[in-house]
Amino acid sequence: MRRHRNVKIVATLGPASASKEMIRALFDAGADVFRLNMSHGSHDDHRARHATIREIEAETGRPIAILADLQGPKLRVGQFADGPHDLAEGDRFRFDLDPATGDAQRVQLPHPEIFAALEPGAELLVNDGKIRLRVDACGPDFADCTVTVPGTISDRKGVNVPDVVLPLAALSDKDRADLEFACELGVDWLALSFVQRAEDVEEARRLAQGRAAVLSKIEKPAAVRAFDEILKASDGIMVARGDLGVELPVHSVPPIQKRLVRLCRAAAKPVIVATQMLESMIESPMPTRAEVSDVANAIYEGTDAVMLSAESAAGAYPVEAVTTMDSVARSVEADPNYRAIIEASRAAKLHSVADAIVTAAREIAETTDIAAICAFTQSGATVSLVARERPRVPILAMSPVDTVLRRMCLTWGAHCVKTARLSRFKEAVVTSTRTAREFGFADETRQVVVMAGVPFNVPGTTNILRIAPCDERLIYATDPE
């Protein structure tokens, strides 16, 4: 089940992809990570899908990552007495805490935190930004606004507040319950919604207690402004362009995406580009050319993964959507321009022995006849550093730890293989060459670069690099012990 590409594919599961047959078909088509969207479905639904993924993992012998995406606090207006109302440009409209049903002049906004943060001149966006209102006057329980972009307002429509940092925790009571459920279930990654500051991430990490890695979704302007601190606190990042495009001018999203992807790569942390990548494939077996270009551009930028949402969760063509992403990725990575772009964006970063060793491994692999870089890891850090280099040869990521292998399924280029616990470097060399041959990365005429740390089974000890022949007779002839 070797993938012939480096970028990873995240597929969201839902009603269209709930059966074992469909999940297996998505995996066979190229899905490396499955996303459980906690905004939809019950705990029993997610438990069943988790169990199915683990069955497929056992049948295929390939680690599969599972990402649980927490909903985050949802800001919504109340209900209207007489159904939807059309708001025209220039109309005056009030949001308040009054639980009475709304009308053409006002509606409840049951979030006092919003009123506490608002200032005159701020914008309120309703229904994914289809309606925009400017705050003229506000207090602890109201906001009087003028409609600047007209539209129809109706029950329970979502509200965005792009101009201020809201005094809201990223984790609602539902999120806390979902987080504990997901960790007990054994998911590999938690995606945290509504991140505004590094403290939001740190709270999620405290609750997870190391049972899952924490990935921050960048979907608010506040998160873009505080990105450096959020990145330090996170294990990975998702560029959630849908909400970013609502709360920020849509033309500003592409350069933000490029900047965040590059910063994540420099930090050796995986990044997913998500939202509306192949949106038309919810209803069509073929994507638009613009969508294909969008996926391709994310790959050219160096993202670790691209994600399908409704396309695989609720669409009519989930397998075709994954197949399309796989085809686009393979086509881009075969383009000489892709290599030129990736290598031009490589930043020198030598701060540790491990940094120096992975840089040397990449340079050796690109200047000699090397079939693969074989990296043994206890925590996944070594493989992340190798992936940051974006080498031209495959990365064999080997570990005895199942949770580490699964988390690395989100890392660019990592072909994850479980090994026994090793005690000697020679065992690592032999295991590397056998694995490279078994999975078709090399034959007996080739060589591989082997990286490991001594003492073994201790995180953060990468300190050895060796070029090894894949012919075991040569290994034993030169190193009989």
Per the structure, the complete domain to which residue 439 belongs is given by 353-478
Same structural domain, 26 and 48: yes
2 found inside a domain: no
Of 62, 217, 241, 269, the active-site residue reads 217
Same structural domain, 48 and 95: no
Sign for the pseudo-dihedral over CA of 172, 178, 182, 184: positive
- Specify whether 220 is catalytic: no
- Specify whether 262 is catalytic: no
Same structural domain, 121 and 174: no
80 found inside a domain: no
Same structural domain, 140 and 205: no
Of 76, 176, 418, 446, the active-site residue reads 76
Predicted TM-score (pTM) of the model is 0.94
131 found inside a domain: yes
User: Could you tell me if 359 and 336 are in contact, meaning their C-beta atoms sit under 8 angstroms apart?
Assistant: no
* Listed residues 137, 160, 183: the one ending a domain: 160
Same structural domain, 63 and 188: yes
Of 3, 5, 8, 35, the active-site residue reads 35
Distance CA 329, CA 127 (A): 33
Of 12, 275, 324, 433, the active-site residue reads 275
Same structural domain, 131 and 182: no
- Specify whether 368 is catalytic: no
User: Could you tell me if 261 and 301 are in contact, meaning their C-beta atoms sit under 8 angstroms apart?
Assistant: yes
Distance CA 404, CA 418 (A): 10
* Listed residues 272, 299, 330: the one ending a domain: 330
Look up the CATH number of the domain holding residue 125. Answer: 2.40.33.10
347 found inside a domain: no
| DSSP track, 65-121 | EEEEE------B---BTTS-EEE-TT-EEEEES--SPB-SSEEE---HHHHHH--TT
Determine phi and psi for 284, rounding to 5 degrees: -125, 140
344 found inside a domain: no
- Specify whether 35 is catalytic: yes
* DSSP element (H, E) containing 332: helix 318-333
Same structural domain, 198 and 316: yes
How confident is the model at residue 12, as a pLDDT?
A: 98
Distance CA 415, CA 396 (A): 5
Digit-by-digit pLDDT tens for the chain (481 residues) are: 689 999 999 999 999 999 999 999 999 999 999 999 999 999 999 999 999 999 999 999 999 999 999 999 989 999 999 999 999 999 999 999 999 999 999 999 999 999 999 999 999 999 989 999 999 999 999 999 999 999 999 999 999 999 888 988 899 999 999 999 999 999 999 999 999 999 999 999 999 999 999 999 999 999 999 999 999 999 999 999 988 999 999 999 999 999 999 999 999 999 999 999 999 999 999 999 999 999 999 999 999 999 999 999 999 999 999 999 999 999 999 999 999 999 998 876 667 888 899 999 999 998 998 999 999 999 999 999 999 999 999 999 999 999 999 999 999 999 999 999 988 888 999 999 999 999 999 999 999 999 988 787 777 778 889 999 998 777 766 664 5
79 found inside a domain: no
How confident is the model at residue 480, as a pLDDT?
A: 47
Residues written for the chain: 481
- Phi/psi-derived region of residue 194, left when phi > 0, alpha when psi is between -120 and 50, beta in every other case: left
Look up the CATH number of the domain holding residue 56. Answer: 3.20.20.60
Same structural domain, 297 and 234: yes
Same structural domain, 216 and 321: yes
335 found inside a domain: no
How confident is the model at residue 226, as a pLDDT?
A: 97
Same structural domain, 58 and 149: no
Residue 285 sits at the vertex; the CA angle it makes with 284 and 291, to the nearest 5 degrees, is 75
Would strands 123-126 and 131-139 be described as parallel, antiparallel, or unpaired? antiparallel
Same structural domain, 318 and 444: no
User: Could you tell me if 164 and 122 are in contact, meaning their C-beta atoms sit under 8 angstroms apart?
Assistant: yes
Would strands 131-139 and 142-149 be described as parallel, antiparallel, or unpaired? antiparallel
Look up the CATH number of the domain holding residue 467. Answer: 3.40.1380.20
How confident is the model at residue 118, as a pLDDT?
A: 95
For the chain, how many structural domains are there in total?
Answer: 3
414 found inside a domain: yes
Same structural domain, 67 and 100: no
